[in-house]
Amino acid sequence: MTIGELAGQCGWKLLCGGKGEDREAQGCYAGDLLSWVMSRAQENNVWLTVMGNVNAIAVAALTEVSAIVLTENAALDQDAAQRAEIQGIPVYTCEANTYETAIQVYEVLR
């Protein structure tokens, strides 16, 4: 399933990086400590976080996650949005908390 399809089924709102919506989504990783995410997130994971800064975009690019989902309507910095757009990393937002969003991803992908 593509990240765009997953986002549609989950009801997430795209903030930027629409060029990357054709990437495959194979699972998710939840975390806000960037160094932890760098060493544990897998390629094609959907990264669930509240970190909406340019460093999060760098970590997403490094780990090759399929997208970032900012849970609890966390804010996305303008610099981060510009960087995500350039690098084709989709960034979505949702109202649910990280736990609820992880369950939703699991249910849709299984």
- As averages over each run of 10 residues, the pLDDT of the chain (110 residues) reads 98 97 97 97 98 98 98 98 97 98 97
User: Whole-angstrom Cα distance, residue 88 to residue 61?
Assistant: 9
In the chain, the number of structural domains is: 1
- 78-98: per-residue pLDDT in tens? 999 999 999 999 999 999 999
- Per DSSP bridges, beta strands 91-93 and 13-16 are antiparallel
Range of the domain at 47: 3-109
CATH number at residue 91: 3.40.1390.20
**Is the entire prediction scored with pTM above 0.85?**
yes
Residues contacting residue 66 through CB under 8 Å, at least 6 positions apart? 3, 20, 23, 24, 25, 26, 44, 45, 46, 90
